[in-house]
Amino acid sequence: QYAPQYGGYCAWAVAQGKTAKGDARRWAIVDDKLYLNYNKGIQRKWDKDRSGFITSADTNWPTVLQD
């Protein structure tokens, strides 16, 4: 039902202008969209400001793949 945002890359990493593999065990659904994160620690960071990180990641995606 849900396809991960940012091609399955870690949402927090994309928000930082980087890429990192998303972990299917570290996920959240926000506004009917699936977001993955790299690990438990990164998930905790991301949880503190989901909307801010989503805004940053949306701005960086997909140009982050060109770096």
- Taken in order 8, 12, 18, 21, the sign of the CA dihedral is negative
Which residue range forms the structural domain that includes residue 53? 5-66
The confidence band for 1, taking pLDDT boundaries of 50, 70 and 90, is confident
pLDDT at residue 67 tops 90: no
34-55 mean pLDDT: 98
pTM of this prediction? 0.94
List beta partners, residue 9. 21
pLDDT at residue 17 tops 70: yes
CA distance 35 to 27: 5
Overall number of domains in the chain = 1
Amino acid in position 52: G
Tell me the pairing of strands 23-30 and 33-37: antiparallel
Q: Any idea what DSSP says for residue 11?
A: H
Q: H or E stretch including 67? A: none
